[in-house]
Amino acid sequence: GPLAPLDHHTLEKYESIWLGVAVTMVALLFVGVLASMITGTMPLIASSGGQTGHSMGISKAGRVDPTKLAATPFANPGLVQNEDGSLDAWILAGNFTFQPGVLRVPAGKPVRIHVTASDVVHGFQVTGTNLNTEILPGHVASMTVTFRHPGEQHVICNEYCGTGHHNMITRFIVEP
């Protein structure tokens, strides 16, 4: 009858409304999952992205010349306490090792961790947490981490980087 095309049109309208609702719900679910990943699943540490600042030999965007690491804080990997009391941890990945092999950090205090690679792409994963980043030569990955509880946190390379890949490990000793 004459109403049939109108009904069909109305149906399409409802369909597009429901499609919009469905898309919105999926988007909300996604945001919720992201939020719970950030807030709910990190019992051991709290972390956030961090600026590298104006450190020697490192651009504000975190660029570094991997052949000139001797002119950067990566020449002396380890924990540095700044004049204002803040902490920077400089970690160098390369030759199937992380330097330093052990890093002592205080519990409950933010530490800005900076990691770069001297040779090829490596990974940097703090086991038991969702702190996990790719380490590229020529770029400094920076993140601010607060280790909540005293103990040990192991760090592994989770990017295949060659024959010594599985030996790449370091650890944080979190002190009370």
According to CB under 6 A, which one of 52, 155, 159, 172 is a site residue for ligand CUA?
Answer: 159
According to CB under 6 A, which one of 69, 92, 105, 168 is a site residue for ligand CUA?
Answer: 168
Using the contact rule CB under 6 A, the part of the chain among 6-14, 41-49, 69-77, 158-166 near ligand CUA is: 158-166
Using the contact rule CB under 6 A, the part of the chain among 12-20, 46-54, 76-84, 160-168 near ligand CUA is: 160-168
When asked if residue 160 is in the footprint of ligand CUA (CB under 6 A), the reply is yes
Cβ-based neighbours of 149, under 8 Å, separated by 6 or more: 44, 107, 174
Q: Are residues 123 and 133 in contact, defined by beta-carbon separation less than 8 angstroms?
A: yes
Q: What's the rounded Cα separation, in Å, for the pair 167 and 160?
A: 11
Number of residues that bind ligand CUA (CB under 6 A): 8
When asked if residue 88 is in the footprint of ligand CUA (CB under 6 A), the reply is no
Q: Is 22 helix (H, G, I), strand (E, B) or coil?
A: helix
Task: Find the Cα–Cα–Cα–Cα dihedral 25, 29, 32, 37, rounded to 10°.
Answer: -170
According to CB under 6 A, which one of 64, 161, 170, 172 is a site residue for ligand CUA?
Answer: 161
Q: Sketch the per residue contact string, 94 through 133, with ligand CUA: x for CB under 6 A, - otherwise.
A: ----------------------------xx----------
According to CB under 6 A, which one of 126, 141, 155, 157 is a site residue for ligand CUA?
Answer: 157
Transcribe 42-76 into DSSP letters.
-SSEEEEE---TT-TT--TT-B--GGGGGGSGGGS
Using the minimum distance from each CB to ligand CUA, give the nearer residue, 69 or 174.
Answer: 69
Cβ-based neighbours of 150, under 8 Å, separated by 6 or more: 107, 174, 175, 176
Q: Give the footprint of ligand CUA on this chain (CB under 6 A).
A: 122-123, 157, 159-161, 165, 168
